[in-house]
Structure 1
């Protein structure tokens, strides 16, 4: 579908398409620039924010099952970004912690995310960015039961 054809599509549908494209671009950026998946980034960020944590607690913070987190941590550990440590009192429990390299990766990501670099020429304009922000916050905060999907928009 061309941009011309999208001009007539309802806002709810445009929001879905934009969200999908931004997600794809973000995942590509994470992989190419930081060597991470979205799940890996979230895991590193959780450990950076909360410090050393049991495996199960990290899984809960990342909204994944502990078994799913195992593969994510395997990759991060191979890359030297996290360490597993057995709990001295309960050998069944494994604690996860960031390595120095993991903290460095988090610092680089945090700097990139907080750079404030506009995504488009439209959000480079503070007045337009404020309207976009207000729209997105209202969509995010809307009560789906009261308004239906996408604030009552039909897709």
Structure 2
């Protein structure tokens, strides 16, 4: 299954509208849980060698995916050098007490669908050549 051009457009248009700024301490905890390292004023998961103009360091967007009033965190980094044709790496995290836990981690653009399992949306992650559908099984996302 591939993400259609329309799906990619929806992600590009809707994604920024979801952006909300977490606190500084939450940002640090989210980036560290997602496997990012601080590099100056930015957070990096994959270091390009050599750096390209298309690289975008880690960014965080908060969104309440399951409607429980607690926002989950999307962490994204863009790099065709690191992630090939998909061009992006996405990590979805959820707060569990005082720590952040990874729910999904994959190369590709993430697109939540309207279909849900136990209140959590199905999430398609992919790029121009392939994609995978993640579904909530009651305790975790699986393919």
Q: TM-score, normalised by structure 1?
A: 0.26
- Give 1 or 2: higher strand fraction: 2
- Give 1 or 2: higher helix fraction: 1
Greater relative contact order (CA < 8 Å, ≥ 6 in sequence):
1
Higher-Rg member (1/2): 1
